[in-house]
Amino acid sequence: MKLYYKPGACSQATHITLHELGIDFQLEQVNRETGQTESGQDFTTISPNGYVPALALDDGEVLTEGPAILQFLADQHKDSGLAPAPGTRARARMQSILTFISSELHTGFRPFFRNPSLANEARQQAEAELQEHFGYIESLLSDGRDYLTGNEFTIADAYGFVVSTWSSFVDFDLSPWPKVRAFQARVNSRPSVQAALAAEGPAA
C-alpha cells in the first residue's frame, strides 16, 4: 500500500489514519509545482485529477478522494472504532460531519490558497465564510464531547484536524473558538498525528 501525499495537505488525514490502524505502507511525496512524484512519475497518470490523497492498493488499484479513502480504510478494519458500522445512524452522523468538512470547511480555504495575497473585501468575505464554518464546529463541541462525533476518535477527527490547521497557513485567528483550539490540541497529542507530522515535515 502506498500513499501519495503533499505535506500538510488533506492527504495528511489518510496518513494519520494509516498510523492509527498500524498498517504497513509506503509514502511518496508529490511536488506541488511540478506535479511529479518523488520517483519522477507524472502524478496525473496515477490520479487523473492531480489531487492528493491517492492510495495505491497492493493489487494495483488506486483510490482517490480523501473521505472515500478514509471510510474504506475504517471499514477494512472494523474493530478499530474509527467509523461506526455502515447503515447505522451513528454512521450517518459521522458521514454528515465528513461531508461538511469536505464541502464547506475545506473549500472555505480555497480562496486563500488560490490567491495568497487575498486582501480587502475579498479576504473579508472569505473570512466570514470560515467564521461561520468554525462556528458550527464549535457548536458540535459545545456539549463537552472530546471529538466531533462524541468521545471516540474517528476518521472525521483526522480530517477535521488537518483542515483546521490550515488556519495558521493563512493567518486566520482561531481564538474566538476555544473549543476548536482545544480539539486541535487533543488530536495533535495522538501518537498517530505526531508520527504523520514527523514523517511529512513542514508543509511546502
Among the listed residues 28, 38, 23, the one whose alpha carbon sits nearest the alpha carbon of residue 2: 28
Residue 67 preceded by cis peptide, ω within 30: no
Q: Domains (ranges, CATH) in the chain? A: 2-80+192-200 (3.40.30.10), 89-189 (1.20.1050.10)
Segments of the chain assigned E as strands: 2-5, 26-29, 54-56, 62-64
| DSSP letter, residue 153 | -
pTM for the structure as a whole: 0.96
C-alpha grid cell, residue 188 = 495533535
Question: How does pLDDT run across 142-165, given as a tens digit for each residue?
Answer: 999 999 999 999 999 999 999 999
Question: How does pLDDT run across 3-22, given as a tens digit for each residue?
Answer: 999 999 999 999 999 999 99
Chain-centroid distance of CA 64 in Å reads 13
